[in-house]
Amino acid sequence: MTLLLLSLFALDVPVDQDAVSTEEVAAPDPGAMAYASCGGCHGAQGQGNAALNSPALAGQDAAYTARQLRNYKAGIRGADPEDVYGAQMRGMSNVLVDEAALVAVSEYIASMERSAPAASDADLSAGQAAYANCVSCHGQKGEGNPVMNGPALAGLDAPYLERQLEHFRAGRRGAHAEDPWGASMVPLAKQLDAESSAALAAYIASL
């Protein structure tokens, strides 16, 4: 009987709704969800994977990333048959079903923390001298300059940088009429031969 009375009494106790703790489940980040298809090549933290010829993405300006994704989707970049890795990105860009997903993944990438460069004992003086022509658009430390539409270069691996310079020189990138910012890189890249490109890329990779 005592237990029954206690039970009935407990049922009559008013519940303080403010005291009830409810755990809110956060909505999934659409940028993180969209990035799931990128992590296999570019790394879970956007650190890149040189073995897969995939550059680092972490910390890149969102507007630049979005522009490149649009260029891939439209065939402005990656359409040249000799740009094998660009062609792969054209296919992957189509995973982004709409502009909202494209913007979300670009903003998510921009929020990632850029990895510190690996230490190097190499003589980088030649590359440092060549980089003087890059500072106004890409920043003293390769941090980029959104005002000049110059992307960050810090964190990119040397082979990727060399490959892009060669693409600019050969007309595989920056030749399309709808890529004015790519076109601005063409005359600069043509000032460099393979040796000076390698020196410049090595210096940028150290930033």
pLDDT score of 14: 52
CATH of 31-205 among 1.10.760.10, 3.90.1150.10, 3.40.50.11750, 1.10.3720.10 = 1.10.760.10
Paired tokens of 111 = 């929020």
Average predicted confidence (pLDDT) for the chain: 90
Percentage of the chain surpassing pLDDT 70? 88
Look up the pTM and report it.
0.85
The full set of domain ranges for the chain reads: 31-205
DSSP strand E in 84-174: where? none
87 CB neighbour count, 10 Å cutoff: 15
Q: What is the mean pLDDT of residues 62-72?
A: 98
Q: Which amino acid is at 192?
A: L
- pLDDT tens profile 89-115: 999 999 999 999 999 999 999 999 998
Q: How far apart are CA 89 and CA 117, in angstroms?
A: 25
- pLDDT tens profile 6-46: 343 344 545 455 544 455 677 789 999 999 999 999 999 99
- pLDDT tens profile 134-171: 999 999 999 999 999 999 999 999 999 999 999 999 99
pLDDT score of 117: 86
Identify whether the C-beta of residue 176 lies closer than 8 Å to the C-beta of residue 182: yes
pLDDT score of 185: 98
Residue in this structure with the two tokens 């009830």, named with its chain if needed: 20
